[in-house]
């Protein structure tokens, strides 16, 4: 993008999404040294060192790109399959870069999530829980977060249950 000195630029990267390893808590921050000085001070008091086994697993994951390509291919397949099931009943688009979908709900997001759990035993996160009101509007209202982190067959089953629930509304 032409910013070769990284002025006012900071990048956060982790194995959570890259390698589908959210519990490992392995990542890095890179960019503008002036901005990172303050971050490093914060990190000194609000972080902890990784154990040796986690460090070894992290090194292996950071050094392997094959599993990353496989992981991305699996997500593409999940998105295509789940979107085909849900598009007839929910306003939903594929994400630009994420492991989750962000569909609009026909009723309140909290009502939708509760009803879906009660009737179909599928857990989703209400969008309003992920944002806060600004200028009288909560940008997450009437949306849910559908994380497609499970295996493909489980994502398909969940999507079918979500569709069945939507058809009752």
| Residue 107, both tokens | 């009723």
φ/ψ of 70, rounded to 5, equals -60, -45
| Cβ pair 159, 80 in contact under 8 A | no
Residue 26 to residue 57: CA distance in whole angstroms = 9
CA 44 to CA 24: how far, in whole Å? 19
Under CATH, to which class is 66-166 assigned?
alpha beta
- CA angle 150–155–161, rounded 5-degree value: 135
Q: How far apart are CA 36 and CA 43, in angstroms?
A: 10
Q: One digit per residue, pLDDT tens: the chain, 169 residues? A: 676 777 888 888 899 888 988 888 899 888 898 889 888 888 777 777 889 999 999 999 999 999 999 999 999 999 999 999 999 999 999 998 888 999 999 999 999 999 999 999 999 999 999 998 999 999 999 999 999 989 999 999 999 999 999 999 9
In the chain, where the domains are located: 10-62, 66-166
pLDDT in tens, 69-78: 999 999 999 9
CB 16 within 8 A of CB 61: no
How far is residue 73 CA from its own chain's centroid?
16
Biggest CA pair distance of the chain: 55
- Decide: 118 and 166 in contact? Cβ < 8 Å: no
pTM: 0.81
């Amino acid at each position: 993008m032409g910013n070769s000195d990284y002025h006012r630029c900071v990048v956060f990267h982790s194995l959570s999404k890259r390698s589908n390893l959210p519990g490992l808590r392995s990542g890095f921050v890179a960019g503008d040294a002036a901005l990172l000085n303050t971050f490093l001070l914060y990190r000194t008091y609000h972080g902890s060192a990784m154990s040796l086994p986690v460090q070894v697993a992290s090194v292996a994951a950071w050094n392997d790109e094959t599993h990353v390509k496989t992981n991305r291919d699996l997500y593409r397949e999940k998105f295509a399959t789940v979107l085909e099931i849900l598009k007839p009943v929910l306003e939903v688009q594929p994400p630009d870069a994420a492991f989750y979908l962000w569909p609009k709900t026909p009723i309140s997001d909290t009502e939708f999530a509760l009803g879906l759990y009660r009737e179909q035993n599928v857990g989703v996160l209400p969008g309003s829980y992920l944002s806060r009101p600004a200028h009288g509007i909560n940008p997450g209202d009437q949306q849910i977060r559908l994380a497609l982190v499970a295996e493909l067959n489980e994502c398909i089953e969940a999507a079918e249950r979500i569709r069945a629930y939507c058809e009752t509304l």
